[in-house]
Amino acid sequence: MSEVASFEVHGRDRKRLAAAVTAPDDDAPIALRTADGEIDLPPAARAAVRRLLTELAAGTSVHLLTDQTELTTQEAADLLGISRTYVVRLIDSGKLPAHLVGTHRRLRAADVIAYMARRDARLAGVAAIATADAEAGVPYR
What are the structural domains of the chain?
5-64 (no CATH), 72-136 (1.10.1660)
Count of Cβ atoms closer than 10 Å to residue 83 Cβ? 13
Give the sign of the dihedral formed by CA 47, CA 48, CA 54, CA 58. positive
Model's pTM, two decimal places?
0.69
Radius of gyration of the chain (CA): 20
Cβ contact 108:68 at 8 Å: yes
Amino acid 138 reads V
Per-residue pLDDT of the chain (141 residues; tens, 9 = 90+): 456 777 888 888 888 877 777 665 667 778 888 899 998 888 888 888 888 888 888 888 888 888 899 999 999 999 999 999 999 999 999 999 999 999 999 999 999 999 999 999 999 999 999 999 889 988 877
Helix (H, G, I), strand (E, B) or coil at 101: strand
